Structures are given as C-alpha cells and as structure tokens.
Amino acid sequence: IMKDIYNITTTFILAGFGKTTSSAYLYFASSFVLYAVTIFVNAFLIAVLFLEENLRGPMYTCLRHLTFNELCGSTAILPHLMANLLSESKTISYSACFAQLFFIYTYGTVELTVLTVMAYDRYVAICNPLRYGNIMSDTKTHRLLIFAWVYSLLTTFLLVIQSLRLPLCSSRIDQLFCDNVTIMNLSCVDSSSNNIFAIFLIALSIVSPSLVIVYSYIRILIVCLKASKEARAKALNTCLSHLLTFFIFIIGVFAVVIGNRIKTKAVPVSVNNILSLGFLTIPPLFNPIIYGMKTANIRTGIKNIL
C-alpha cells in the first residue's frame, strides 16, 4: 500500500552542486587541498598531544577528543563532496544520506559538548585553583568526555530515527549534503512533530551548552578583574584559544540553523551552501592552528617533535 501511495526513494539528487562545469576542477582542487591540510594539522596535533609527556591534564585530554571529532566531521562531508564535484550525477544513496546526516550532527553536538567541558575546566582552574586537582581529576574528566560522546550519539540517533520514519515524495535536495531540515521538507506527510523535536534538540544541544560557556567566562572575567595585572593576563591568555574556537564554531552553527530555518529569496542558494559548509570545514582547519600558536606548552611540544 505504501508503495502505491508514496515514491520509494533510493537515491537523492544533490541539486546544490548545479551542473558540472570547467570550474568544478578548481573547486575539486581547492577542496582537496583544504581536506589534506585539515587532516595533516589535526593528525599532527593529536601526535604532539600523545607524544609529549608535559601535555597531560584535563585541558589536553579534552583537546585530543576535540581534534579527533574534527577529523571525523571533515571526513563525513569533504570526500563525498569532492567525488560529486567531478561526477555528472551529483547523487547520494538513501543509506549514505542518513549516515552522513548522523555523522554531521554527531560532530556538531560532540564539538559543543566538549567545548563546554573545556570551559568548565578553565572556570575551575581560574576560580577555584586550590581545588582544581580534586575537582578536575582524570577520572572525572574521562567521565565528562564519555558523557559528551554518549549524549551526542544518542540524541543524533533519535533525530535520525525520527527522520527515517518519514515517507518521502521527492528526491531533490537543494544543498551540498544531507540535512535533517531538508529531509523533513521532502516528506509526504505533516512533519510538525519532527520539527518540534528537532527544535527541542537544538535548544538542548546548542543553546544550553552555549549558556554554560558564557556563564563560565563571565565568572572568569569577574575573578580576573579582581586579580593583579600579571595574573589577569596569564588567565586570559589560557582562555583565548578556547574562546576563539567557541566563537568560530558557534557563528557557523547559527549561520546554518538560521539559513535552514529562514528560507528567503533574498539570499542566493550559493550563499546558503557556503554558510552550511562553514561549520564543517573552518573549525577543523583553524582550531589546531589556533591552539598550536596560542598555547605555549603545545608550541614547545611541536618544536621538540620537529
């Protein structure tokens, strides 16, 4: 009965690519260089964090997880994007689409959750330095990071299950990759319940961690204002890398959320495509560079290995 009513979609057309032109080779080369550099800087940072004995402690443990997650996020989108740039069909299979959706949303949720753990670590280190060793023990740090991964995988799994249940009447996706909002728009039935659930997850996975991070840094700022000039400079310097990482990521996330939720003809499709790729490509590329340049211990570790 379902086959008679709804079209059975086995392949999606990624219409965001448009037609293959001579410029596709330039885009492919640019994407290849971007992916290669991203893989190198993240893999190199992970190697430095594992090999250098002085790079131990909660902050560096969190950074290892953050960097590994960014490798996964880049790999979820860029290889398939490069293949489609040179392909005439510009398609993705049904199973690959939902797998891509799962890994992209997991990447985003893990990224923000780990950044929240790192903000809490900086808050304890600056606001409760005498109790830091007891509060941020290795055991507690690993428990928080396990929670970050389990929570992210579970919430994304529930989101994907909700979308898998939708019967689809179209196979055209006006983007470069699979997105939950786009899948809901292809549904033959009312997807209001899915939309409400997705908005709830956005509030839970984006807004709540962001508020925790902002609150942590407000408390840090209050403590820094009361400290000496030297102590204030040292404290702010240790937080600078994390703040830059957070702002780069959250700006990209909100650009994607707003672009998906508020469709307008005033914004060209190409602009929405670029914005949607931003949070998947910019943080994995720049975050290792930021930490490598701004963190003295990591700079020393890089020099030792080189």
What is the SS3 assignment for 72? helix
Q: Which residues touch 4 (CB under 8 Å, ≥6 apart)?
A: none
Strand 11-14 to 91-93 pairing: antiparallel
Residue carrying the six token digits 């689409």: 97
Distance CA(194)–CA(241), nearest Å, equals: 36
Mean pLDDT check: name the lowest of 33-42, 204-213, 228-237, 260-269.
260-269
Question: pLDDT digits over 165-195, tens only?
Answer: 888 888 888 888 888 888 888 888 877 888 8
Q: Using CA of residue 47, residue 51, residue 54, residue 59, what is the dihedral sign?
A: positive
Question: pLDDT digits over 69-90, tens only?
Answer: 999 989 988 999 898 888 888 8
- How many domains is the chain partitioned into structurally? 1
What is the SS3 assignment for 144? helix
What's the DSSP call for residue 284?
A: H
Q: For residue 4, what pLDDT is reported? A: 41
Q: Dig out the tokens for 179 from the structure.
A: 């997105």
Percent of the chain's residues with pLDDT above 70: 91
The C-alpha angle 149, 155, 156, rounded to 5 degrees, equals 85
Name the residue among 137, 151, 152, 66 with its Cα closest to residue 102: 152
C-alpha 276: how far from chain center? 11
Mean pLDDT check: name the lowest of 33-47, 195-209, 260-274.
260-274
DSSP H helical segments within 227-295, as ranges?
229-261, 269-294
Distance CA(225)–CA(228), nearest Å, equals: 8
> pTM to 2 decimals?
0.88
Q: What are phi and psi of 6, to 5 degrees?
A: -115, 150
C-alpha 120: how far from chain center? 19
Band of residue 5 on the pLDDT scale cut at 50, 70, 90? very low
- Beta bridge mates, 92: 12
Domain containing residue 274? 2-305
CATH of the domain at 284: 1.20.1070.10
> Average per-residue pLDDT in the chain?
84
Tell me if 131 sits within 8 A of 69, measured CB to CB.
Answer: no
Residue carrying the six token digits 């790729």: 277
